[in-house]
Homo-oligomer: A and B are copies of this chain.
Amino acid sequence: MNEKREALVLSQGEIAKDIFDLWIKQPEIAGAARPGQFVMIYCEDNSRLLPRPISICEVNTAKGHLRLVYRIAGEGTKEFSKLVSADRIQVMGPLGNGFPLSAKKAILVGGGIGIPPMLELARQLEGEKQIVLGYRDELFLDKDLEKFGQVCIATEDGSTGTRGTVIDAIKEHHLDAEVIYACGPTPMLKALQKYAIVHNIECYLSMEERMACGIGACLACVCKSVGKDEHTNVHNKRVCKDGPVFEAREVEL
């Protein structure tokens, strides 16, 4: 049976302002995790009932370790940011479908707090990888990703790399690919969706939506889909179960 499981906190550090890098030990989840999947982390505070979805950033299957990188967005992530090594947390997962792997020439695009899942993806993809990272200003995980391919950076304030968006960076560096993988804010996903359609490139987008159950039962987390979803036979796919990764042509953004 799947279940909410206890995980041991191995270490935690702040790698950029309000961005935390958490390593936990949870062998069952680490053993099953695929890039693009996520876990649910439960709050200890009893006034916060809903679990928080966080992408799997890196996995050490042999050791049973998982890396999660997250930004403080509200009370729940603030609670998590106080965890220190030897603490215990409740986690469920791995959840969602994950990115479909292939050996095609790929562009991996991460925007802001959408960057973390790109790391495990980069580790597992076998083909040529070009990695495009968009930041507001301060960088994180860029050094980790450099090991796996050419990294192009776009910053809103122009402090590093291309001034502007990830699309600007893709254009500036004349990147091309057979497949795009992306995770980041909706405007970025929208731009990539358009880019992929115009350039006729296969493209996988990881979506975000508010979740309650995380396993496809409550219908909180739907996104508008082109095809009918199998579950309720309407045009609403569940991000937690049918996604979070969708082919760009499958979803309406």
Q: List residues of A whose CB falls within 8 A of some B CB.
A: 44-48
Which residues of B have CB within 8 Å of A45? 44-47
Distance in angstroms between the alpha carbons of A44 and B47 in the assembled complex: 11
Q: Please give the distance in Å from A53's CB to the nearest CB on chain B.
A: 21
Kindly state the separation between the CA atoms of A40 and B45 in the bound complex, as whole angstroms: 20
Copy number in the complex reads 2
**Chain B residues within 8 Å of A44, by CB:** 45
For the complex with contacts A44-B45, A47-B47, 6 further pairs of A-B residues with Cβ separation under 8 Å are A45-B45, A45-B46, A45-B47, A46-B46, A46-B47, A46-B48
Closest to A79 in B: B46
A39→B47 CA distance, assembly (Å): 25
> Can you name the residue of chain B whose Cβ is closest to the Cβ of A43?
B46
Instruction: Using CB atoms, name the residue of chain B closest to A48.
Output: B46
Closest to A49 in B: B47
Cα-based distance from A207 to B148 in the complex (angstroms): 70
Q: How far is the CB of A46 from chain B (nearest CB, A)?
A: 4
Q: How far is it, in angstroms, between the C-alpha of A47 and the C-alpha of B75 when the chains are bound?
A: 13
Cα-based distance from A196 to B96 in the complex (angstroms) = 71
Q: Within 8 Å CB of A46, what residues of B? A: 45-48
Smallest CB–CB gap between A177 and chain B, Å? 47
Q: In the bound complex, how far is the Cα of B45 from the Cα of A45, in angstroms?
A: 5
Smallest Cβ distance from A239 to chain B, in angstroms?
28
Q: Shortest Cβ distance from A48 into chain B, in angstroms? A: 8
> Smallest Cβ distance from A97 to chain B, in angstroms?
34
Give Cα distance in the complex from A122 to B44, angstroms.
Answer: 41
Q: Which B residues touch A48, using CB under 8 A?
A: 46
| CB of A45, distance to nearest CB on chain B (Å) | 5
Q: Please name 8 pairs of A and B residues whose Cβ atoms are closer than 8 Å in the assembled complex, sorted by A.
A: A44-B45, A45-B45, A45-B46, A45-B47, A46-B46, A46-B47, A46-B48, A47-B47
Kindly state the separation between the CA atoms of A47 and B45 in the bound complex, as whole angstroms. Answer: 7
Q: How far is the CA of A48 from the CA of B44 in the complex (A)?
A: 13
CB distance from A164 to the nearest CB of B (A): 41
State how many angstroms separate the Cβ of A162 from the closest Cβ of chain B: 43
Residue on B with the closest CB to A44?
Answer: B45
Cα A45 to Cα B44 with chains together (Å): 8
Interchain nearest-CB distance for A222 vs B (Å): 29
